[in-house]
Structure 1
């Protein structure tokens, strides 16, 4: 942002820029009216667009601070809340800031009793502001004025509204001093408990001369506030009582619920820590109970029908699978289902491809029979003549062929004479007739007694 020194803001002429922090610029200004005194004018310049709605709530919050009347709060002289002009003005006094006071102190840390005195005054001012619905949000040494006789004034309020539930969170890491910001404040959740945390950081700084968390930039410092454990105060200053360190650690709790309930409770705990024989209560971590409700799906007939249908389908698939794999072995080839044409060793040799096969019948006459050549066109076919009942033994050999539609088997030409009763003649004629349709070269004859 460009420096506005030499610019007229309202009734004030900006003389020089004193500080710049986040969206706030602090100027020394002089009123244009006669008899006016120089003022400290804080100019608020939020971003546009404004995701935090600061401009929308500024008039309400600055009016709350303007109405405050407390011994340890510096009063506002004037404020402006126009569309393009947001500022607040306070009188220039001879008081020095606590930051300037600490730089002049050689040891960089203060006596314990003086720190408790300072903290008591600040806690009284914060307790009053919290009762008015105001969260300071900018507690740091530069926001505290020190008058003569160790009298403190709290000034430089952030003018931000207290976080309301269900409001969207907007990170505000670069607003204010990250070294004194509570973990939830960096996320955009400004609460009165955030001021208690800032008081814990200030106590740590005044008692040890160092900040609890430090880093190169605001992001690194904010991460340390949220994640790293609280450093030991007595390691830096062993002469401090243990009870005082417990008070500081309670104020620096990561969770707002684990800190002191209000600023007055913090002040009371500090005074009690200075009394060795007095027992004081440090807020302990409250027991958190998480209500766990069993999430059961309600019964409905549609769900029951779906479950029953799914069960029937699964059992059907299982039964079909068992049936297919328990089918008996076959002696013929089923085209396209090669996985069923296994286990036929010695009976069928399956050829991968079109699944065609040829049956070849080779007649074999058992001992005791005689074969005589037949006459006629089929002279190559044998004729079997015997006085005993012949037994025809054949061997089935499946030989793959390349013909597209092979016959089921090769016909054998000849005459088969059977010795038996004449009562079988009619049956044998029917068999002979059926067999002639398949193999015309083969004939059956019956001989024997009637």
Structure 2
């Protein structure tokens, strides 16, 4: 830690401005010019990390190429006493995270976003992604009575060509509450990832909260990957519903569903605020009912509809498209006049936090190995046979149930059918009352289980459940956080189960022997982000079968779901 009055790299330290995960920022005096600068130092304990050191050193090169009135300029950089440093302009003012939404007019919030969008589009045209857009990195300064907006801290930016290397080290650097779905799932990034984070920032400036708030990081990640954003018009009085549609598009789960640029997003937000009843733009929102009236509950989706964009912004892969929400806006307004160039002035010695990244580094270990690359391109139909050694579990070891043809002589009563399933998989399912039309109970790992008939099937898990054909009864079990959901279905004939398997598409088929029993797994490709799907076929001694198991993971990879399946007491 540098002391007041100490000279470092030729700059005299005035005081510490802030401290973050990658280093510290000091207010310092230029040795020859009447200028105060922000001196950013990489933490010495991180200096030995080659990747972080190179990233920090690259920051100076990146920002030096980004000469824009809305980007904090860099003056110099170097290494002194084995510690890298960057000298940047000191912005004498707060950052946007210090603004209170209740006291911030929506028009001003959108203007801040529009100025930030200009900076981002400028950087994107030069092949640079910011990767950490959030209110704390948007700095505000009063110049001649006008508010200037500066985007700071390109410290974790990378050239677009390097973007796919993000998760090769097993970790990523981002602020979780503002991170895009593709950042969280290790997918290749493009400028639309910054747009998503900018939309989260606008959401925060308008409402005082982020789109997906949760106490646990897993809950935040789940929101980004699977939940539609809540409508801002319901969170702050006076905001038009047109803003809901604009934010829904900018917060699309797929980059293809978002605006073409950050500037286009900002312009649409401004138009929605100022003239929500202008000409046509169509966007989807899962929060709008089929009639376009009252909001629908999360997870309830209306019929498919068509938009000019061709993508339902908040559709999770495999889900039914949402209902349509319409708002109208005038033709794009002319771009705002450029802000006046920065004027030299002696900065006051009041606190501001410049470019200190509140870094959240989530390693694969930190989230239980849940964030990893997804392989969505494999659509193999090749078969393989492997033999697995018994996997130790904490469950009681029981003798496998007799595997004769279970379809023979089954009653038509759903309660009795459910009992057959319970007796076949006693450690996975609760016991059923054969006299009841519907059963509930607690299954494996505390899962909440309920029975369903084919006429009233279980709700979709959000992963794009396959059609399992003409089954008779199902036990559907929803696991807690970190546990997969699973479903056992029973057929009245082996032919019905075979038809369901033949209807599957896009899978990798594997024969696996566990605890002496042979199973066939159909690992379905093309799943939603971190929502792998697996169908298991159970063989009887005479080659017939009438049971299938469908499992879907939550924030997991295909391999992690398969590991869970191997350890589950399905015998």
TM-score relative to the length of structure 2:
0.44
Contact persistence 2:132–2:156 (CA under 8 A): no
1:184 pairs with 182, 185, 192, which one? 182
Question: Does residue 10 of structure 2 align to residue 11 of structure 1?
Answer: yes
2:152 pairs with 150, 155, 162, which one? 155
What is the match of residue 260 of structure 1?
A: 259
What is the match of residue 338 of structure 1?
A: none
Contact persistence 2:212–2:223 (CA under 8 A): yes
Superposed CA deviations along residues 188-212 of structure 1, whole A, max 9, x for unmatched, are 6654222111111111112112222
What is the match of residue 280 of structure 2?
A: 279
What is the match of residue 321 of structure 1?
A: none
Q: Can you give the 5+ residue segments of structure 2 that lack an aligned partner in the other structure?
A: 284-308, 319-375, 384-571
What is the match of residue 208 of structure 2?
A: 209
1:138 pairs with 124, 132, 135, which one? 132
What is the match of residue 41 of structure 2?
A: 43
Q: Counterparts of 1:36-185 in structure 2 under 5 Å?
A: 36-45=34-43, 47=46, 50=49, 53-80=51-78, 84-100=82-98, 102-103=99-100, 107-108=102-103, 110-146=104-140, 147=142, 148-162=145-159, 163-165=162-164, 168-170=167-169, 172=171, 175-185=173-183
Superposed CA deviations along residues 58-94 of structure 1, whole A, max 9, x for unmatched, are 4444213112222222211222257933322223344
| Partners of 1:49 and 1:220 in 2: CA distance | 33
Q: Which has the larger strand fraction?
A: 2
Question: Does residue 233 of structure 2 align to residue 234 of structure 1?
Answer: yes
| Partners of 1:39 and 1:15 in 2: CA distance | 10
Deviation at 1:296, TM superposition (A): 7.3
| Partners of 1:34 and 1:296 in 2: CA distance | 71
Q: Can you give the 5+ residue segments of structure 1 that lack an aligned partner in the other structure?
A: 298-450
1:190–1:16: structure 2 CA closer, same or farther, 3 Å change rule? farther
Where 1:164 maps in the other structure, the secondary structure is: helix
Deviation at 1:99, TM superposition (A): 3.1
Contact persistence 1:59–1:81 (CA under 8 A): no
- What is the aligned-residue RMSD (CA, Å)? 3.5
TM-score relative to the length of structure 1:
0.55
1:242–1:91: structure 2 CA closer, same or farther, 3 Å change rule? same
| Partners of 2:61 and 2:107 in 1: CA distance | 35
| Partners of 2:176 and 2:111 in 1: CA distance | 25
1:57–1:237: structure 2 CA closer, same or farther, 3 Å change rule? closer
Contact persistence 1:65–1:134 (CA under 8 A): no
| Partners of 2:377 and 2:97 in 1: CA distance | 47
Where 1:43 maps in the other structure, the secondary structure is: strand
Q: Which has the higher contact order (CA 8 A, sep 6+)?
A: 2
Deviation at 1:236, TM superposition (A): 0.7
1:172–1:5: structure 2 CA closer, same or farther, 3 Å change rule? farther
Superposed CA deviations along residues 207-230 of structure 1, whole A, max 9, x for unmatched, are 112222334465654454334442
1:214–1:160: structure 2 CA closer, same or farther, 3 Å change rule? same
Superposed CA deviations along residues 364-394 of structure 1, whole A, max 9, x for unmatched, are xxxxxxxxxxxxxxxxxxxxxxxxxxxxxxx
Contact persistence 2:56–2:155 (CA under 8 A): no
Where 1:151 maps in the other structure, the secondary structure is: strand
| Partners of 1:184 and 1:138 in 2: CA distance | 13
Superposed CA deviations along residues 333-375 of structure 1, whole A, max 9, x for unmatched, are xxxxxxxxxxxxxxxxxxxxxxxxxxxxxxxxxxxxxxxxxxx
| Partners of 1:167 and 1:19 in 2: CA distance | 27
Contact persistence 1:226–1:254 (CA under 8 A): yes
1:226–1:14: structure 2 CA closer, same or farther, 3 Å change rule? farther
What is the match of residue 296 of structure 2?
A: none
1:291–1:165: structure 2 CA closer, same or farther, 3 Å change rule? closer
Deviates more, 1:195-204 or 1:150-159: 150-159
What is the match of residue 196 of structure 2?
A: 197
Larger radius of gyration: 1
| Partners of 2:126 and 2:250 in 1: CA distance | 22
| Partners of 2:227 and 2:105 in 1: CA distance | 28
| Partners of 1:126 and 1:159 in 2: CA distance | 14
Deviation at 1:56, TM superposition (A): 2.8
Q: How many pairs does the alignment contain?
A: 288
Q: Counterparts of 1:402-441 in structure 2 under 5 Å?
A: none
Superposed CA deviations along residues 151-207 of structure 1, whole A, max 9, x for unmatched, are 31222222431443366434556x453322223334566542221111111111121
| Partners of 1:141 and 1:272 in 2: CA distance | 22
Where 1:214 maps in the other structure, the secondary structure is: coil
| Partners of 2:282 and 2:240 in 1: CA distance | 16
Contact persistence 1:13–1:30 (CA under 8 A): yes
